[in-house]
Amino acid sequence: MQKKYRLRDRADFTRVYRYGRSFANHQLVLYVFHRPQVERFRVGVSASKKIGNAVMRNRMRRMIKEIVRLQSDRIVDHVDLIFIVRKGATTMNYEQLSKSVHHVLRKASVTK
């Protein structure tokens, strides 16, 4: 995922958490905040220590970012997205996690 499509600043995360809407399934929580100022969408991934050690947290972040990168043409523009990984996602393989990401994106109505 290119740097310009990443959420990195604490202020950006706080804004999305405070003013955005949340959508969830058993594996993920998605926060969505519509921002006309950004040209495309931006993505952030949060994985707490509850889901495992650093290896597991980074693996989940990499997998979700790759799934979003491959589906970037299907995601609407002008939104900030934050994925929060839940414990149930750690036992899933790539295909199952991909289906879960697509499900929560459709639930949030951010797919074209």
Q: With 80 as the cut, is the pLDDT of residue 32 above it?
A: yes
Q: What is the pLDDT of residue 39?
A: 85
> Which of 34, 13, 36, 27 has its CA nearest to residue 108?
34
Instruction: Give the model's pLDDT for residue 3.
Output: 79
Q: Which residues contact 68 (CB under 8 A, 6 or more apart)?
A: 1, 43, 75, 81, 83, 101
Average pLDDT, the chain: 93
Across the range 39-61, mean pLDDT stands at 94
Pairing mode, strands 42-46 and 21-24: unpaired
Taking every pair of Cα atoms in the chain, the longest distance, rounded to a whole number of angstroms, is 37
Q: How many CA atoms lie within 13 A of 55 on its CB side?
A: 0
Residue 68 in this model has a pLDDT that exceeds 80? yes
